Amino acid sequence: MKNRLLFPIIFAFIFSSCSDFSGNEDAVEASLKPGPVTKKKKEESDPTRTYYDLNGITYGNNTFVAVGDDGTVRTSSDNGATWDNGTRGTTRDLYEIAYGNSTFVAVGQSGTHLYSRDDGATWDNGTWSSADDITGVAFGNNTFVGVSDNKYLTKSTDNGANWVQGCSGVSVYDVAFGNSKFVASGAKGAIQTSDNGSDPCSTGSSGTMTHTLYGITFGNNRFFSVGSSGKLIISADDGGTFADKTSPTTITLYSTVFGNDKFVAVGPYAVVVSDNVGDSAGITDETVDLNDVTFGNGVFVAVSDKDKIYRSTDDGDSWTKVYP
């Protein structure tokens, strides 16, 4: 879900706060990081190289694939230990990525929907006409569902090649799938649920209208969402209602994932790890600034600004920079 709030997204959030509609949204995400992003940053140690902010990461087919600004793609086939450059399918910013049916789907700026069937080596454009930013994406029920910053969902039933508009109503930033249900989270505690991204969609209750929920994941038959001021909430009824969990931080959390029977959430200089029901949450690291996190093959991998990628092999307790 996910380092990606830009000025247009902030505007969309402010606009949505004036709406009479209450619910949830996972399109700015999703998983996105508040504040403007400075692109193409260079490090003093290598002034000849351009570094790009990485915003999203996922795992599939024994491969980690990370995406970021200006269409940047990084791939790893050795459990995140080493990384290669994937081929750009666009020069637009990519905000999030998901895997399903042997396909990676990446979404982003100005309506970008890309798909790759060779583990991120090459990309094709999915058909889609709107120019609204797409900030989150998930796969389930043989369907990819994306979330936009303009209060509607997008969906593809042919592995990312063609997209249609799904249900609408609330501003959501990130989306997850579990128990045959898509659940998205977003502005002012918005929660939206759907079986396949189409109507009918329902709004769930997050228990808050003062927090922005930037990231959501599914694990242990529960949806777990994180957001502003360290907010942690969990649902055991497929997104219908969420309960607060005690947070060890007031730092905004951008993304969360479930793995090895734990929920791991990340943000700017805060990694929060909790048990499989969201309890006993504690900060394990305050030295890494992370935008998005995923889990695969026993390891957690997270991405950051300036092309940085970190890996944890001890359930989020410690992190090692593995790229660049």
In a domain, 58, yes or no: yes
pTM summary value: 0.87
CA 312 – CA 324 distance, rounded (Å) = 16
Dump pLDDT digits (tens) for 123-136. 999 999 999 999 99
Look up tokens 């080493």; give the residue.
82
In a domain, 298, yes or no: yes
- Of the candidates 257, 200, 269, 197, the one whose C-alpha atom is nearest the C-alpha of residue 226 is 257
State the burial class of residue 248 (Cβ atoms within 10 Å of its Cβ: 0-12, 13-18, 19+): middle
Range of the domain at 268: 7-323
Phi, psi of 187 (to 5 degrees): -70, 140
Q: Are 174 and 96 in contact (CB under 8 A)?
A: yes
In a domain, 152, yes or no: yes
pLDDT of residue 45: 55
Bridge partners (DSSP) of residue 181 are: 178
In a domain, 211, yes or no: yes
Q: Are 177 and 140 in contact (CB under 8 A)?
A: yes
* Residues whose CB is less than 8 angstroms from the CB of residue 127 and which lie 6 or more positions away in sequence, other chains included: 161, 162, 163
In a domain, 75, yes or no: yes
**37: DSSP letter:** -
In a domain, 2, yes or no: no
Dump pLDDT digits (tens) for 275-285. 999 999 999 99
Q: pLDDT tens string for the chain (324 positions)? A: 554 544 343 333 333 334 333 333 333 333 444 433 333 444 445 677 899 999 999 999 999 999 999 999 999 999 999 999 999 999 999 999 999 999 999 999 999 999 999 999 999 999 999 999 999 999 999 999 999 878 899 999 999 999 999 999 899 999 999 999 999 999 999 999 999 998 889 999 999 999 999 999 999 999 999 999 999 999 999 999 999 999 999 999 999 999 999 999 999 999 999 999 999 999 999 999 999 999 999 999 999 999 999 999 999 999 999 999
What CATH number is associated with residue 179? 2.130.10.10
* Residues whose CB is less than 8 angstroms from the CB of residue 218 and which lie 6 or more positions away in sequence, other chains included: 176, 177, 178, 179, 183, 224, 258
Largest CA distance in the chain: 53
Q: Does residue 8 have a cis bond before it (omega within 30 degrees)?
A: no
Q: Are 276 and 15 in contact (CB under 8 A)?
A: no
Bridge partners (DSSP) of residue 285 are: 271
In a domain, 180, yes or no: yes
Q: In the chain, how many H helices and how many E strands?
A: 1, 29
In a domain, 259, yes or no: yes
How many domains, the chain? 1
